[in-house]
Structure formats: C-alpha cells, structure tokens
Amino acid sequence: MRELAVVKLGGSIITVKDKPFTLRGDILERIGSELSGLEDSLILVHGGGSYAHPVAKKYSVSEGYRDEEHLRGFIETSIAVRRLNLEVVEKLVDGGLRCIGIPSSTMFSTSSGKILTCNLDPIFLSHRIKIAPITCGDVVFDRELGFTVLSGDAIASYLAIRLKAKRLIYAIDLDGIYIRDRVTGEVKIAEELKPGMKLEPLGKVEEDVTGGVMGKLEEGFRAAEKGVEVMIVNGLVDGRIRDAVLGKRVLGTVLKV
C-alpha cells in the first residue's frame, strides 16, 4: 500500500484568475491523467480561484453573518464553489482519474474560523472503493460567526496532519518559493524554506480572501511540524505533481522546521 499524499491544487493552476468563472480544463485533464492509478492513496483539495474568490471578497463573507448582504454572499459563494468543484471533478475524470467531489461544507464546521469538527467517513469510504476524494476551499458554517470562508490550504494541512499523511504537496503556478541569495543577490528558488526566511515576490503580489502565499506557508509549516513532508511545486509542469506525490526529488521548495 502506497503512503498517503494530500495534494492542494491552487486556484491559479485550475482557473484563469483574472477571468471570472474560467476553468483551465486542459491542465486539469493532464493532472487527472498523471495521477491516475494513485486514487486509494490520494486526497485532492482545490482552491476557489476565479470562481469563488471574487464573490467572497465582494461580500466580505469571511467576516460571517452580519446582515442580508453577507448572507447573500454566503449563498452565492457556495453556489460558485459547487460549480467549480463539479467542473474540476469532470475534467479530472476525463483525464482518467477515478474521483468524486465532496463539498467541504458537508465535512467541516468551524468556530471563529478555526476547524471545529470534521467528518472523515467520506474520505475513508472513497479510498475503500479505490476512488480519490476531491474537496475544496469553501464557505462553511461557523459556531460563532454563523458562517465563514475555510481555505483549501487550511483543509489540506488539517487532513495531512489528522490522517498522518506522508506528504503534503502544494501545487502552484511557480516553480517554488523565491528568495534572494545573501551573497550574490541572485533571486532563486529556495530548495528548502524555514520559518522566518525572507521571501522575494515575483510579479504582481495578489492577496485573496484566504491569505495568499503567507497563509499557504503558515499551514504548510504547521503540517511540517507534525512530521509531514511538505513541498511546493509547479503544477503546470507535466509530471511534477505525480513525481512529488511518489516522493521523487523534483524542482520545488521543501518546507523545513
């Protein structure tokens, strides 16, 4: 039996971030093809990308239930996430991956934004019949706030820790996390990244409703502290996610604590 791996597919690789409701179907089909055969040792989590983030940001959904506008945003974001999850699953299946979508709001509840409960039965039962569960960043019910946004990065870290996964792979649209060499001044990919190391942003820095790259690193380091092997790789490169899942050394950034 292969060791369990949790893979977070960033919104930037599954959607066109500056074009609302635009899926990168070719990328998802290719990922489905390369992960085919690994279903019973794999959990996939995807971000909201250009489907969920614009809506959630417009209505400040992460703040919780304050008035009718926030409630409208909660409902509209939920609809957008369901649409995205269905389309992601369809394209992965077209690529050859046996998988099923499981909305996070049916699994998770939070309290003040922190995960409070999680029903893992859908994951266990999926693996039992050799299909990969696909969940995602979502709006969920919150004990204190009424509802809030739960990021895919947090979900991936939580599942990796809770299920004692061997690996947690964050797939993004860059080759890893960039730093500046202290001696040469060269900007390069950090083969290893430790807490406190200064990052070098490339291009336009975008912050989303789930915390952007800093939120990803915070969640990744949390899993690394529990003994999970955590790596950030470029999900747009053929074969790189599969190789990382199988424990092969690939270009990317390993999080160390």
Residues 6+ apart with CB under 8 A from 108: 115, 117, 118, 138, 140, 150, 155
**Would you state the pLDDT for residue 202?**
62
Record the pTM. Answer: 0.93
Instruction: Summarize the confidence of residues 36-64 as an average pLDDT.
Output: 94
From edge to edge, which strands make up the β-sheet containing 138-142?
114-118, 108-111, 138-142, 146-150
**Reported CATH class of domain 5-255:** alpha beta
Q: What's the mean per-residue pLDDT of the chain?
A: 93
% of the chain surpassing 90 pLDDT: 86
CA 145 to chain centre: 23
Give dist(CA 46, CA 51) in Å, integer.
12
pLDDT band, residue 196 (cuts 50/70/90): confident
